[in-house]
A and B are shown apart, each in its own frame.
Chain A
Amino acid sequence: DAGVTQSPTHLIKTRGQHVTLRCSPISGHKSVSWYQQVLGQGPQFIFQYYEKEERGRGNFPDRFSARQFPNYSSELNVNALLLGDSALYLCASSPRTDNQPQHFGDGTRLSIL
């Protein structure tokens, strides 16, 4: 069975541009979460979606947005990119929003020039 898949794997953008990152959860998983991980830090929570509704939002500016589609895949959008947005963006899925652990995709490594 396929795990969590993310695309693209790597991306280079310049300041002020916009980016869309994509995630497909494990089959049967309805909850998708997005995290940002900068070098030397643990992942920081950005969004959680369940059944196409936003269930949680971390401390990130409004430049960050996301959505979940009927097939439970998800997109993370970031507008007006800043140098500080350079990071590994991780998507994680779980069957529900309960106490079960989440399973991560390989991530998208975003570099802002």
Chain B
Amino acid sequence: DSGVTQTPKHLITATGQRVTLRCSPRSGDLSVYWYQQSLDQGLQFLIQYYNGEERAKGNILERFSAQQFPDLHSELNLSSLELGDSALYFCASSAVARVNYNEQFFGPGTRLTVL
């Protein structure tokens, strides 16, 4: 158990819909990262937040957005869903903003299926 929690574990929805994925980082960790894992693209970095502020952006679509709240939990919002958005979404946390010298702890993931 990494100490990072994600809800829900599974999510099934239809194309065009909007969903919200939730992540609670390890106690004391200020950085939260979101990743998308699919069979063809592998693990793709989406976005990072540090203490409530956006720190880095990766391959995140404009239909996706995220935020980190004062209690440090984070939400990833996916809208206008397409079949290709079906994937495993991981949240990870680390103690500081810099990835250097600092491991990331991954949550169990949310499996999103878009029908």
Q: Do A and B bind? A: no
